[in-house]
Amino acid sequence: MTEHRETVEVPYLDRLPPGGAELIHEKSLTILEEFGIQMDHPEVQDVLEAAGCRIDREEDLVYVPGSLAEDSMQSAPSSFTVRGRGSQPDKTVGGDEPVISTAAGSPYMYTFEEGRRSSTMADFELFQKLVQMADVIDTEGHDIVAPNDYDESIAFLEAQLRSLTLTDKIPKGNCYGEDRARMVADMVGIVHDDPDLSDYYLVGNANSVSPRTWDTKMIGGVMQHARMEQPIILAPAAMASASAPGTIAGTMALVNAEILAGATLTQVVNEGTPLVYGLPTSNTDIRYGTFSIGSPEGALFISLAGEMARFYDVPSRAGGGLNDAKTVDEQAGSEAMFQLTASMFSGIDFISHGAGLLDTMSTSSPEKFVLDLERIRHIKRYEDGFELTDEKFALDLIEEVEPAGHFLNQQHTLTHATEEFMIPELAVRNSHGDWKSAGSKTAFERAHEHVQEILDSYERPAMDEDIQQDLERYVAEKRSQIIEA
C-alpha cells in the first residue's frame, strides 16, 4: 500500500486572468512616467533626480522611468529573515508560513464591560501582554491602540518602550519621519545589543496618501529605513471610489504605481533593502462615503496583493481579521473569518490586523483579539490537512469494533483524536442544557473571561538589567529633547 505522509498544498485564491499582472504593471508605468507621484521632500527629490527621475519642483512631482522602477523591484529580495530575541525564534517574511500581526493604529478601545471609549496607554500595555501569550501572533504590529492619554510627540517613544519590555516578539518600526524612524530603530538596537543594526530586527510600515502622493513624513521615514537597511512595508490604503477610481482595475493601477515609486526610493538609497508589497486597500460604500474593509471586494484586493507580489518576486502584506462591525457580533465574526481565510490562502506573507480589529480600523477589542486567535487556529488546522497512512486508516481497529459499536474507549482514539482534531478554546460544543446551566454565555462574554485568564497567566519576558537601564536612559533622553524643543 502507498502511504501519503505529505498533505496537499491549498491552492492560491488567484483572481487575475492570464496576463493580468503584466497589464496592471504596464498601466502603473504610465502613471509613473507620464502623471508623476507627488513627493514633497527636497532630499528625496534630489536622490531620485540623481538616479534618473524627472522632477517638477513647483508641483513636487516625481516622474519615475519605468526601467528604473523595474530594476528596483528586481533588486529587492524575495524573502528576508527578522531576528528573534528572548524566547522568540527568527521569522522569515516570504517563507513557508505567514508572519501574523495584530490590529493597528486604533484610537478607540472596545470591551465587554465598557463598550467603546478613547484608548489609553494602559490599554496598549494590556494588548502587549495578550500578544506575548498568543501562540499564533508573531509581532505586535504598529500600535494596536493609540495611547491618547500621552502627548502625541512622545507617545511613540513610550509605546515602543512598553512594546520592547512587555513582549519579546518582532518589534514594529516607525515611518512617520526620519527622526522617529531612527529613534525607534535605536531602541530596537539597544535590546538586541547591536546599535549598528547589523541584521534585520524590525519591520516598518509606510502608507502613501492616494491618489499619487507620498507625504513628507512618510517618504522621509521610508528613506530612513532604507538608509538603515531595515525592512519596510509599502502600503497604500486607497479607498476605491473616493481616493481611487470606482473600479478595482483603476485602483490597482494607481496603488501599484505608488508602491513602485516608494520601492524605487528604497533601492536607490540602499540597493537590496527588503521591502514588502502592501495593500490595505478596499472600497468605499458610496451610500455613506465610508471605507469598507470587510467587503468581498476587500478580499479581492487581498488576493491581488498576493498575486502582484509574486509577479515582482517580493513578499506581500495584506488582510487579517478585517471587518466594519461596531461591536463583537455576527458581522464582526463572519467578515473577519472571510478576510482571514482570503489572507491565508492568497499567499500573503505578512498578515496585518490579524487579531483584535473592529469598526473599519478605528477600534480594537481584547475580546475580538482572542476570538480572532481561534479563527486563525481554525484556518491553520484546515491548511495542515491530514495523512493517509496505515496507522491513520486504522483498519485493524475497524475490524475489531463490532457493528453499531463505538470507538470512544479505544486507545487508538485516545492517542490520535486530540492530535487529529483541534480542540477550540472558546467555541461552544457541549449540550444546550450544559451551556444554559453555565449561564447561557455569548461568545463575547466567554471571550471577556478568557482575556482575564490570559492576563492572569502572563509572564513578562526576561531582559538583561543593563540593557533595560540603557533602554530607559535612551527614552528619558529623547523624551526630554522632544519636550524641550
Closest CA to 282 of 243, 317, 314: 243
What value does the mean pLDDT take over residues 16-24? 97
Which tens digits make up the pLDDT trace of 190-210? 999 999 999 999 999 999 999
Region 438-467: mean pLDDT is 98
Residue pointed to by grid coordinates 523591484: 73
- Domain extent at residue 233: 1-388+424-485
Q: Tell me: pLDDT of 7 over 80.
A: no
Whether 398 is in a domain gets the answer: no
Predicted pLDDT of residue 143: 86
Confidence at 2, pLDDT banded by 50, 70, 90: low
pLDDT band at residue 19, thresholds of 50, 70 and 90? very high
CB 353, CB 103: distance < 8 Å: yes
Tell me what the mean pLDDT of segment 246-266 comes to.
Answer: 98
Amino acid residing at 479? R
Which parts of 35-120 fold into alpha helices (H)? 42-50, 66-75
Only one residue has cell 518602550, namely 161
Confidence band, pLDDT 50/70/90 cuts, at residue 377: very high
What CATH number is given to the structural domain containing 429?
3.20.20.480
Does 308 map to a domain?
yes
When pLDDT is cut at 50, 70 and 90, the band that residue 277 belongs to is: very high
Looking at the domain assignment, is residue 410 inside a domain?
Answer: no
Give the C-alpha separation, 206 to 430, whole Å: 46
Cα distances (Å, whole numbers) of residue 216 to 53, 165, 213: 18, 31, 9
Coil vs helix vs strand at 420: helix
pLDDT tops 80 at residue 235: yes
DSSP lists the bridge partners of residue 55 as: 62
Q: What mean pLDDT comes out for the span 264-283?
A: 98
Any domain includes 416: no
Instruction: Let me know if residue 393 belongs to a domain.
Output: no
Q: What is the pLDDT of residue 36?
A: 98
Instruction: Cell numbers for 189, please give them.
Output: 538596537
Does residue 170 fall inside a structural domain? yes
- How many CB atoms lie under 10 A from the CB of residue 19? 9
Cell numbers given for 90: 527568527
pLDDT of residue 1 exceeding 90: no
Query: Mean pLDDT across the stretch 128-145?
Result: 93
Instruction: Using pLDDT thresholds of 50, 70 and 90, give the confidence band for residue 140.
Output: confident
Alpha-carbon radius of gyration of the chain: 24
pLDDT at residue 6 above 90?
Answer: no
| Mean per-residue pLDDT of the chain | 96
What's the mean pLDDT in 119-131? 98
Q: What is residue 244's predicted lDDT score, i.e. its pLDDT?
A: 98
Q: Is residue 459 part of a domain?
A: yes
Q: Is 255 inside a domain boundary?
A: yes
Per DSSP bridges, beta strands 91-93 and 80-82 are antiparallel
pLDDT one-digit tens code per residue, 378-436? 999 999 999 999 999 999 999 999 999 999 999 999 999 999 999 999 999 999 999 99
Flag whether pLDDT at 98 surpasses 90.
Answer: yes
Count of CA atoms in the C-beta half-sphere (13 A) of 212: 20
Which grid cell sits at 263? 520601492
- Side chain identity at residue 395, one-letter code: L
Q: How many structural domains compose the chain? A: 1
